[in-house]
Amino acid sequence: MIAAEKLWAALKLLRTRDVSPPWLWTSGLSVLLVALPFAVRLDGQQHADWLQFLGRFHPLLVHLPIGLLVLLSILEVAANSRPNLRDAAGFVLYLTLVTGAISLIFGILLAYGGGVVGSTVMRHMWGGIALLIELLVCATVRPAWISGRIERAYPTLLAVTLLTLAWTAHQGGSLTHGNDYLTDYMPGPLKRLFPSSASDAAYAGSVYVRRIHPILDAKCAACHGASKERAGLRLDFYELLMKGSKDGAVIAPGNPDHSLLLQRVTLSPSDHHFMPAEGRTPLSPDEIADIRTWILAGASPTATSVPGITLIAENAELPIQPVADYSSLMTEIRAMQSSQGAKLVAVSAKPSDGLILQTVDIAFKFDDAQLAPFRRFAPFIVEAELGRTAVSDDCFDTLSKFTNLRALHLEGTAVTGRSLSKLSSLSQLRYLNLSGTKVTSEALGPLKGMPNLHHIYLFDTPAESSSQATDSTLRSTQ
Ligand code: HEC
């Protein structure tokens, strides 16, 4: 803290500009700045609340020197054609220095007060210190550049300072948003160049990698990861998760009730020790249940299946397959409409988006025999609205020919599910509504392996009430 006060006093002196010789000041201050991280040691402990309170203004304050430094560069370039801007640039440089120094002090308060440690914090802090030293040197050489005694040194320095700024800001961004903030939505080919930091490559395909790690990564790693290690605990790799915190293990394999991690996430959210801390999004009941089941089964990093944990298929949503052009059949399609009463309606103006089979106006008398002629257009039909029609189990013979079918409404019909297996060849089927039918859970068996079928509705059916297990495996998985 004393160092910071000295720095402050020195900066004020510097602003008065009558300091001489300037280089002596610059080197003195630089030495002080470099000594700062050694004077204020980050010990991973949280300190007085007021330190944290002030410190939390750092992320807000830093935008001042950042903006000013960019403005400074713009002014210096613009002054080549508008010389009267040159004076303003000098003033902005001093403002950048002063606000930069204040931001640095608040940043150190934040890290020290909040007990933040880790390599990213250190890189960010050294970046900030380097920036201030560069700014000091800029301020020292600028007068010589203005008077024409030197030519290149100042612009070069300014460019270097801007690069340091970008790097430091990125480190700071990683601290607040997590390491993968910039790369998360990166296009696939680029992403391969920047492999994600947290991947337990050796356990690919395991329940841990597919279900447990993603939960901890999304909800805990911001504070228990590479950039911050609260309580000395990291949850972003299996080995570190099992190693536990500075006080020991947080997972007791086979014994969820003795696992500190599970205890902390199941406390009342108002409890001081509730995790995730600081009002971050809590774990959902499903997530907690799966972590419990996984610990109970031994917390293995390699097991590829754990009874009770449903893994979402990796290729969860395959891209929608366009259908062929039906334009040449338009006359037939219209004729069909007037003879059968059911309509084939285009999804959009693009033929490749397919057709919807609609029966609304004649639903009560639309039966298997009337459905049969639609085989003629089978490959173009992407949706069949057969809810509350008179179709029966025989309709599946026809429907199994609708190879591009994505959504099938059979709610309120007489189907029992006896021949549901005929649908299993419909690889595009995503939505199946069987609510209000007599379908049993046994009848649903053959549908389990269907790759795209994520939404099955079974409200008010024997399947819904007879078996919880079937329901939860077939429930919509989003
Ligand atoms: C906003 C920051 C933050 C988030 C997010 C967070 N934690 Fe913590 N965690 C802390 C802090 C700070 C401590 C130390 C203070 C304490 O024990 O309450 C801690 C301590 C813990 C401890 C106790 C370690 C020990 O041995 O004392 C466990 C276990 C834990 N966290 C698990 C989790 C889990 C699981 C998640 C994700 C669901 C999570 N944390 C998310 C900040 C966080």
So what's the pLDDT on residue 171? 87
So what's the pLDDT on residue 188? 56
Single-letter code of the amino acid located at 101: A
Is residue 256 lining ligand 1, measured as CB closer than 6 Å? no
Is residue 273 lining ligand 1, measured as CB closer than 6 Å? yes
Q: How far, in Å, from the CA of 291 to the mean position of ligand 1? A: 16
Q: Which residues contact 471 (CB under 8 A, 6 or more apart)?
A: 441, 458, 463, 464
At 403, list the tokens: 């190879």
Atom of ligand 1 nearest to the CA of 283: 38
So what's the pLDDT on residue 478? 31
So what's the pLDDT on residue 5? 76
> CB–CB of 332/376 below 8 Å?
yes
Query: Taking the CB of residue 362, how many other CB atoms lie within 10 A of it?
Result: 15
At 232, list the tokens: 């000395």
Query: Taking the CB of residue 207, how many other CB atoms lie within 10 A of it?
Result: 22
So what's the pLDDT on residue 362? 84
Q: What are the structural domain ranges in the chain?
A: 2-177, 201-296, 327-474
Is residue 175 lining ligand 1, measured as CB closer than 6 Å? no
Mutate to test the pocket of ligand 1, among 116, 275, 283, 292 (most ligand atoms within 8 A of CB): 275
So what's the pLDDT on residue 349? 84
Note the pTM of the prediction, 2 decimals.
Answer: 0.42
Q: How far, in Å, from the CA of 172 to the mean position of ligand 1? A: 21
So what's the pLDDT on residue 2? 63
Q: Which CATH number fits domain 327-474: 3.80.10.10, 3.30.390.50, 2.60.40.10, 3.90.79.10?
A: 3.80.10.10
> CB–CB of 440/462 below 8 Å?
yes
For 304-326, b/e burial (b = at least 16 CB within 10 A) is: eebeebeeeeeeeeeeeeebeeb
C-alpha distances out from residue 243 to 233, 248, 287, 301, 469, Å: 8, 7, 22, 13, 34
Q: How far, in Å, from the CA of 49 to the mean position of ligand 1? A: 18
Residue 59 preceded by cis peptide, ω within 30? no
Mutate to test the pocket of ligand 1, among 117, 264, 270, 288 (most ligand atoms within 8 A of CB): 264
In sequence order, what are the beta bridge partners of 355? 346, 381
Single-letter code of the amino acid located at 26: T
pLDDT (tens, 9 = 90+) of the chain, 478 residues, equals 566 776 677 666 656 555 457 888 899 999 999 999 888 887 767 777 888 888 888 988 999 999 999 999 999 999 999 999 999 999 999 999 999 999 999 999 888 887 777 778 889 999 999 999 999 999 999 999 999 999 899 999 999 999 999 999 988 887 776 555 565 566 655 554 544 444 466 777 789 988 999 999 889 988 998 778 889 899 988 988 998 998 889 999 999 999 999 999 999 999 999 999 988 889 999 999 999 999 999 999 988 888 888 877 654 555 677 788 888 888 888 888 777 778 888 888 888 889 999 988 888 889 999 999 999 899 999 999 999 999 999 999 999 999 999 999 999 999 998 889 999 889 889 999 999 999 988 888 888 778 788 888 888 888 876 544 333 344 433 3
Is residue 221 lining ligand 1, measured as CB closer than 6 Å? no
Q: What are phi and psi of 450, to 5 degrees?
A: -70, 125
So what's the pLDDT on residue 264? 96
So what's the pLDDT on residue 236? 87
Query: Taking the CB of residue 116, how many other CB atoms lie within 10 A of it?
Result: 21
Give me the helices (H) in 178-237, please. Answer: 188-191, 207, 213-219
Is residue 343 lining ligand 1, measured as CB closer than 6 Å? no
Q: How far, in Å, from the CA of 255 to the mean position of ligand 1? A: 20
Is residue 278 lining ligand 1, measured as CB closer than 6 Å? yes
If phi over 0 gives left and psi between -120 and 50 gives alpha, with beta otherwise, what is residue 344? beta
Cα(154)–Cα(349) distance, rounded to whole angstroms? 61
So what's the pLDDT on residue 475? 41
Is residue 219 lining ligand 1, measured as CB closer than 6 Å? yes
So what's the pLDDT on residue 473? 41
In sequence order, what are the beta bridge partners of 433? 409, 457
Tokens 């403005």 identify what position? 71
Question: Quick one: how far is CA 2 from the chain centroid?
Answer: 41
Cα(115)–Cα(222) distance, rounded to whole angstroms? 14
So what's the pLDDT on residue 324? 83
At 179, list the tokens: 């390491």
Mutate to test the pocket of ligand 1, among 43, 121, 220, 260 (most ligand atoms within 8 A of CB): 220
Residue of 361, 358, 213, 229 whose CA lies nearest to 300: 213
CA atoms within 13 A on the CB side of 102: 17
Is residue 116 lining ligand 1, measured as CB closer than 6 Å? no
The DSSP call for residue 176 is H
Mutate to test the pocket of ligand 1, among 46, 52, 223 (most ligand atoms within 8 A of CB): 223
Q: How far, in Å, from the CA of 223 to the mean position of ligand 1? A: 7
